[in-house]
Amino acid sequence: MRKGNLEHSSNGYKIIVVDDEEGIIDSLSIFLKRSGYEFTGVTNPLEAIEKVKNEHFDLMLLDFIMMPIHGDQVVEEIRKFNKELYILLLTGHKDLAPPLETIRRLDIQGYCEKSDKFDQLLLLIESGIKAISQMNMIKDMNDKLKDTYKQLERAYMESIQTLRYTVEAKDSYTRGHSDRVSEFSVLIGKHLGLSDSDLKTLQIGGLFHDIGKIGVPDSILLKDGKLTDDEYSEIKNHPSIGAHILSTATIFKDIIPIVKHHHEKYDGFGYPSKLNGENIPYFARITAVADTFDAMTSKRTYRDALPLDVVISEIERCKGTQFDPKIADVFLDILHNHYDEVKSIQERYK
């Protein structure tokens, strides 16, 4: 990073020098500015900590033996809020340098013995600046990749939402059903003490759990009367169809088990894979309870919504056969003691 005749022209990198000797600060100021760096000199280590907290610096040159605190204590404080600052330690003598274990623990990138000649120090600084430049480049690339990923994720979500709305347009029952199943699933998850990340998976899984109905013929999906065995077999394909639709996008990998297995039964007599007990994905077991509850409490072409006491009795009866008994018990507790939370969801999607 030498600038030769381009003395004092900045290369954009900011260096802070912390040393309680004014003479060292003055010498390094001339040397570093001549080499093209933006320079800040500080004699008080406590002031230096505040400067780093409030301003951006690329690299710090730090004296080890100082008052009122030594250089390793300065780094200890800085690392609490800044993990990226590149730090080079200056020592009056190499025997006075902190132990190697301390240097590693505090992520100090190197140290240099003080000298009247700054050639070795300049090489260390140039090496540090190259490392900083690479780090900045990688950070920029990661930021761009994150932006690209977010754009792709948004595009996938919009595409799948379009499919979901297409299903809802075909089947008036489905309209609002997926939203309610999503919210009921999240409600159960909250009462189970699940993490925000898990709740997000339940939310999206609930929204898309019936996406596979896009592949079910309208004549079956919209039929008023009882389905034939063949027609029911067609309906039972929708979880597998939905999982297949979502399998092309990695962002949906966490919700595919919900989409594919929300019709499995705890006793192993569900579909499509006849999984039983804890072999059924946990989130699918939660969604199964939410899905069935909404089906029972929604008006259909062939029946009215079932009364709450009938629904509670049915969930109680199906514990251990259709439903995971622990999850069913949590939902039954919600229905008995927190029904206002359920009612508010139903009111929103009438």
Annotated catalytic sites, by residue? Answer: 213
CB of 2 within 8 A of CB of 35?
Answer: yes
CB of 32 within 8 A of CB of 160?
Answer: no
Report the chain's C-alpha Rg in angstroms.
Answer: 32
Question: Residue 63: beta bridge partners?
Answer: 90
Instruction: Please provide the DSSP assignment of 279-343 as one string.
Output: GS-HHHHHHHHHHHHHHHTS-BTTBPPPPHHHHHHHHHHTBTTTB-HHHHHHHHHHHHH-HHHHH
14 CB burial (10 A radius; 0-12, 13-18, 19+): middle
SS3 category, 88: strand
**CA pair distance 329, 266, nearest whole angstrom:** 14
Q: Which residue has the tokens 């600060």?
A: 25
**CA pair distance 270, 289, nearest whole angstrom:** 13
Other Cβ atoms closer than 10 A to 130: 11
What six digits make up the tokens of 92? 């009056």
Residues in contact with 270: Cβ distance below 8 Å, sequence separation at least 6, in sequence order: 263, 264, 280, 322
**CA pair distance 61, 87, nearest whole angstrom:** 6
What six digits make up the tokens of 52? 């780093």
**CA pair distance 79, 64, nearest whole angstrom:** 16
Measure Cα distances from 282 to 194, 252, 323, 342 in Å.
11, 16, 11, 21
What six digits make up the tokens of 321? 């056969």
Question: Residue 41: beta bridge partners?
Answer: 17
